Amino acid sequence: MLPDLCSVRILFFLVLATELVVLAMGLIADAGNQYFWLRLGLRSLYSQWLALTAAAILCATRPWLIGRFGPQGQSLATLMAVAMVSLALSDISHRLMMPPEEYLLFLGRNLAVVMIFTGLLLRYLYVQYLHHIQAAAEARARLQALQSRIRPHFLFNSMNTIATLTRINPKLAETVVVDLADLFRASLLEIDKLSTLGEELRLVRHYLDIEGLRLGKRLRVEWSVDGLPEEAALPRLTLQPLLENAVYHGIEKLPEGGIIRVIGDRQGDWIVISLSNPISSLDAEQQKKGQGMALENVRQRLHGVFGECARLTEVKDSARYQIQLEFPLLADEDSDRRR
């Protein structure tokens, strides 16, 4: 696909690559010549003028080219645009400098050099595009696998709870089935479409409601999330694996149970969420090992959306285990593009 030549990064690469080619040609053709720097300056002026003019034309016509042509058609259109600009600039250069070289030979030599360089550049960009597509496909498969990981023991426990409730409270059993369906539906949705913080909190409440039926008074939850923007974008099932670990490695290990605290705050353009659960001093090291897979799962998925901006940290003492999640609020255009 034709690169976005309106991008500052692409333009910088184009200018740098053009200048390196000009320098290499100068060293080959004019090394030791007393007019080396003059010729290098003229070649640089011509080449950069050509590169930036062609980039401006392709920048303006890129949406139209992408809408009308495939990769091969776009490459051909790029070569034609560069050829026309090269012929026009070569004509101007010949009239201004009046070199001893014949007019047609001058135009033909410049055109040949430009076409070779442009062809090599397009080939490089096409290979980079294929690499990007492959990397995106691999990342999509990896994230899909990570998103779909809901522990089998939770499913088995939930089914046992439903089986028990169908005999003593059918209406509540139906509610549990609906909550469980919501959780699994979220794990099967397309990963390209982000969830929202409000939706993630709703899912973890469903999850904790299901576990609460099984654990009874042993599981207590304290919420402090009123100040969070529910529209904030998040990968699907970001919070649920962390709460699942808090139940499985924390509450279940304690005969008396305990309190899970979910505290959220907005700090400027950042969201900070803290999840903590009680642990036994004897199970502290086991808690750390048990959390490892879930933490790595969430880290990878956060990295796929926020890059290095998102942070996931652990704080542990002899009585409680805490996970702190920090991520930026996506700009509206970023959020729309990813949904």
Question: Does residue 197 belong to any structural domain of this protein?
Answer: yes
Closest CA to 106 of 42, 174, 37: 42
Domain's final residue, options 145, 161, 178: 145
Asked which of 118, 145, 172 is the last residue of a domain, the reply is 145
Q: Answer whether residue 329 is part of any domain.
A: yes
Tally of residues, the chain = 339
CA angle 244, 248, 250 (to 5 degrees): 105
* Same-domain check for residues 137 and 193: no
Give domain status of residue 29, yes or no.
Answer: yes
Q: How many CB atoms within 10 Å of residue 237?
A: 27
Q: Is the pLDDT of residue 247 over 70?
A: yes
Residues 50, 106, single domain; the answer is yes
Side by side, the strands of the sheet bearing 311-316 are: 219-224, 258-267, 270-278, 320-328, 311-316
pLDDT, one tens digit per residue, over 43-58 is 888 888 888 888 888 8
Residue 34 has pLDDT above 50, yes or no: yes
> Across the chain, what does the average pLDDT equal?
80
Say how far apart CA 297 and CA 149 lie, in whole Å. 9
Same domain, 187 and 127: no
Flag whether 173 is in a domain. Answer: yes
Residue 174 confidence (pLDDT): 87
Do residues 320 and 287 touch, judged by C-beta distance below 8 A? no
Tell me: do 165 and 108 sit in the same domain. Answer: no
Report the 10 Å Cβ neighbour count for 315. Answer: 11
307 and 190 within one domain: yes
Q: Based on the domain organization, do 174 and 257 belong to the same domain?
A: yes
Residues 65 and 203 in one domain: no
User: Are both 281 and 306 inside the same structural domain?
Assistant: yes
**Residue 255: helix, strand or coil by DSSP?**
coil
Q: What is the pTM of this model?
A: 0.54
Q: Which contiguous run of DSSP H or E holds residue 211?
A: helix 197-215
Query: In this predicted model, which residue has the larger pLDDT, 246 or 124?
Result: 246
Q: Would you say residue 105 lies in a domain?
A: yes
**Domain containing 253 — which CATH number?**
3.30.565.10
249 shares its domain with 300:
yes
pLDDT at 148: 47
Report, as an integer, the average pLDDT of 245-260: 89
The answer to the question of residue 2 being in a domain is no
> Where a domain ends, among 116, 145, 174?
145
**What is the reported pLDDT for 282?**
58
Contacts of 208 (CB under 8 A, 6+ apart): 219, 221, 243, 247, 260
Report the alpha-carbon distance of residue 270 to residue 201 in Å, rounded: 17
**Domain identity same for 66 and 163:** no
Q: Quick one: tokens of 247? A: 């139940």
The number of domains in the chain is 2
Could you read off the pLDDT of 189-244 as tens digits, one per residue? 655 568 899 999 998 898 898 888 888 899 999 999 988 999 998 888 788 888 88
- Which is higher by pLDDT, 29 or 60? 60
Q: Is residue 179 part of a domain?
A: yes
Same domain, 185 and 83: no
pLDDT per position as a tens digit, 254-287: 889 899 999 999 998 999 999 999 987 655 555 5
- Domain for residue 1, yes or no? no
pLDDT by residue (tens digit) across 128-179? 777 777 666 565 555 555 444 555 566 667 778 888 788 888 888 888 888 8
Write down the residue that tokens 């009308």 correspond to: 68
Same domain, 220 and 305: yes
pLDDT number for residue 222: 94
Write out the residue range of the structural domain in which residue 74 sits. 8-145
Residue 75 and residue 68: Cα distance in Å, rounded?
12
Cβ atoms within 10 A of the Cβ of 254, count?
A: 14
pLDDT, tens only, 8-24: 888 888 888 888 888 88
Chain-centre distance for alpha carbon 136: 9
Digit-coded pLDDT (tens) for 50-107: 888 888 888 888 888 887 877 778 888 888 888 888 888 888 887 877 777 788 887 8
* Confidence (pLDDT) at 272: 94
pLDDT of residue 337: 46
If you average pLDDT over residues 291-304, what whole number do you get? 74
Instruction: Please report, rounded to a whole number, the percentage of residues in the chain having pLDDT higher than 90.
Output: 13
Q: For residue 324, is pLDDT > 50?
A: yes
Residue type for position 232 = A
Measured distance CA(135)–CA(149) in Å, rounded? 22
